[in-house]
Amino acid sequence: MQKKISSIPFAGTPEQEAELKAVIAKHIDDPGAVMPVLQEAQEIYGYLPIEVQTMVAEGLNVPLEEVYGVSTFYSQFALSPKGKYNISVCMGTACYVKGSGEVLDKLSECLGIEAEECTLDGKFSLTACRCIGACGLAPVITINDDVYGRLTADMIPEILEKYKD
């Protein structure tokens, strides 16, 4: 899958860097450490900008190419930052046949961004995700940890209203 790479400047703090270095130190002797280190790095920074991937590559003493290869291969790794509220629209088959495509279109219209993008104010990001398994509630979206099911496109503006602040 083609990944969107963020043009938003990297804004990591020294504290985050220290945390990342500790993670690298913990895994440095494990075989195949790249994946678990990237998973923890993403928890620290929220996403994996090239600066973080470079630190991981140098820290683990593996080529950046290999780190980049792994980070772009798995859809869980985000190369763009997530908004304060991350909206995931389930695109599993059960949701799709019940109209999740229209729900995604409506969200993208309301927020002015496409899937896999983040609004300029950093408030909302939009993801079209794989089946989350709540097929009984299809179509489903999640906004951070809140789940909204049995949706139709016209319910979207009202839901977004709850996240105004």
Partner 1 sequence: MYRSNVLVCGGTGCTSSDSLKIVDKLKEEIAARGLENEVNVITTGCFGLCALGPIVVIYPEGSFYSMVKIDDIPEIVEEHLLKGRIVTRLLYQETVEEDTIKSLNKTAFYAKQQRIALRNCGVIDPEKIDEYIAMDGYAALGKVLTEMTPTEVIETILASGLRGRGGAGFPTGLKWKFAAANDADQKYVCCNADEGDPGAFMDRSILEGDPHALLEAMAIAGYAIGATKGYVYVRAEYPIAVNRLQIAIDQAHEYGLLGDNIFGTDFCFDIQLRLGAGAFVCGEETSLMTSIEGKRGEPRPRPPFPAVKGLYKKPTILNNVETYANIPRIILKGADWFNTIGTEKSKGTKVFALGGKIEHTGLVEVPMGTTLREIVEEIGGGIPNGKKFKAAQTGGPSGGCIPPQHLDIPIDYDNLLAIGSMMGSGGLIVMDETTCMVDIAKFFLEFTVDESCGKCTPCRIGTKRLLEMLDKITKGQGTLEMLDEMEDLCNYIKANSLCGLGQTAPNPVLSTLNYFRDEYIQHVVDKKCVAGVCKDLLEFSIIKDKCFGCSMCARQCPAGAITVTDYTAPGKKKPAYEIDTAKCVKCGACLPTCKFGAIIKG
Per CB under 8 A, 64 contacts partner 1: no
Per CB under 8 A, 57 contacts partner 1: no
d(CA 161, CA 111) in angstroms, rounded, equals 11
Tell which one of 8, 54, 154, 157 touches partner 1 (CB under 8 A).
Answer: 154
Tell which one of 54, 63, 69, 114 touches partner 1 (CB under 8 A).
Answer: 69
d(CA 155, CA 5) in angstroms, rounded, equals 31
- In the complex, the smallest distance separating the C-beta of residue 15 from partner 1, rounded to whole angstroms, is 25
Q: What string of DSSP letters covers 86-136?
A: EEEEE-SHHHHHTTHHHHHHHHHHHHT--TTEE-TTSSEEEEEE---S-GG
Per CB under 8 A, 134 contacts partner 1: yes
- In the complex, the smallest distance separating the C-beta of residue 9 from partner 1, rounded to whole angstroms, is 26
Tell which one of 56, 77, 89, 124 touches partner 1 (CB under 8 A).
Answer: 77
Report CA-CA distances (Å) from 71 to 10, 42, 48, 88. Answer: 17, 10, 8, 20
Residues that bind partner 1 (CB under 8 A): 1, 31-36, 39, 69-70, 73-77, 91-94, 96-98, 129-138, 140, 147, 149, 154
